[in-house]
């Protein structure tokens, strides 16, 4: 994969799904928190991060390796369900991963007992993708769609697509559709026209004169 920072998660025995979650500086700390679950102060962690960031996949990989439990989209679950799951994890000494958009206090919890328990739980946080991860994700998404994305195109996209997992996926989707509809090779001119039309292109940072525009 593109970028020397990209690696498979965990130092544990390989799992067939490991190559589905790419690790860079933007999510490495979250992986490390999960990897060292035996040192958690309690048997529950709150895994937070942007949507489409692979947080649910990371939780599933962890659960498969640790024999743990997952509660996904936790904000949409009854608070009593979370409360009892937290208690059960402590009683049985099996790790529980609670996947959410944000951790308390940003995640407003009404049940005082649950609020105090989650406050005592470590937080594993996935951040916005960095350059290494953005490049690797573009490469993987284009490959999955059978699109020939040259390295210069991917570098061009890094400065013109909003730095978020959702924006990246939207950009790949519209480019895939444009290639199919126009029957043209994926190129910088095609990407420029397509992303501009879809209002997905941002102004790039100042560039050197020799950079491809």
**In this predicted model, what pLDDT tens digit does every residue of 180-190 receive, in sequence order?**
999 999 999 99
Q: Which long-range contacts (CB under 8 A, 24 or more apart) does 71-75 make?
A: 71/96, 71/97, 71/98, 71/99, 72/99, 73/99, 73/100, 74/46, 74/98, 74/99, 74/100, 74/107, 75/100, 75/101, 75/107
Distances (CA, A) of 170 to 47, 52, 93, 177: 24, 11, 41, 11
Q: Residues 75-100: pLDDT tens digits?
A: 999 999 999 999 999 999 999 999 99
| Average pLDDT in the chain | 88
Task: Give me the CATH topology for the region 18-125.
Answer: Rossmann fold (3.40.50)
Percent of the chain surpassing pLDDT 90: 82
Region 40-61: mean pLDDT is 95
Distances (CA, A) of 112 to 4, 38, 43, 45, 107: 45, 27, 19, 18, 13
CATH fold match for the domains 18-125 and 131-197 = no
> pLDDT value at position 16?
46
Domain ranges of the chain: 18-125, 131-197
Q: Residues 138-177: pLDDT tens digits?
A: 999 999 999 999 999 999 999 999 999 999 999 999 999 9
> pLDDT value at position 206?
54
Task: Give me the CATH topology for the region 131-197.
Answer: Helicase, Ruva Protein; domain 3 (1.10.8)
pTM of the model: 0.82
79-92 helix and 112-119 helix, angle to the nearest 10 degrees: 50
Q: Which long-range contacts (CB under 8 A, 24 or more apart) does 163-168 make?
A: 163/128, 163/129, 163/134, 164/50, 164/128, 164/129, 165/50, 165/51, 165/52, 165/53, 165/54, 165/128, 165/129, 165/137, 166/50, 166/51, 166/52, 167/200, 168/129, 168/134, 168/137, 168/138, 168/141
């Amino acid at each position: 994969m593109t970028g020397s920072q990209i690696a498979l998660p965990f130092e544990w025995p390989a799992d067939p799904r490991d190559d589905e979650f790419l690790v860079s500086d933007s999510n490495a700390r979250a992986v490390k928190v999960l990897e060292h679950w035996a040192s958690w102060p309690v048997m529950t962690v709150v895994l937070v991060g942007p949507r489409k960031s692979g947080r649910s996949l990371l939780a599933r990989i962890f659960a498969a390796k640790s024999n743990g439990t997952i509660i996904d989209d936790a904000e949409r679950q009854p608070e009593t369900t979370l409360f009892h799951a937290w208690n059960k994890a402590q009683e049985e000494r099996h790790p529980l991963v609670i996947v959410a958009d944000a951790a308390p206090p940003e995640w407003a919890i009404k049940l005082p007992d649950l609020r105090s328990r989650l406050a005592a739980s470590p937080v594993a946080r996935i951040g916005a993708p960095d350059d290494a991860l953005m490049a690797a994700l573009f490469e993987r998404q284009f490959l999955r769609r059978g699109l020939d994305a040259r390295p210069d195109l991917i570098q061009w996209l890094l400065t013109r697509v909003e730095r978020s997992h959702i924006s990246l996926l939207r950009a790949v989707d519209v480019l895939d559709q444009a290639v199919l509809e126009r029957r043209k090779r994926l190129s910088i001119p095609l990407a420029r026209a397509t992303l501009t039309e879809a209002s997905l292109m941002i102004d790039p940072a100042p560039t050197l004169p020799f950079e491809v525009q």
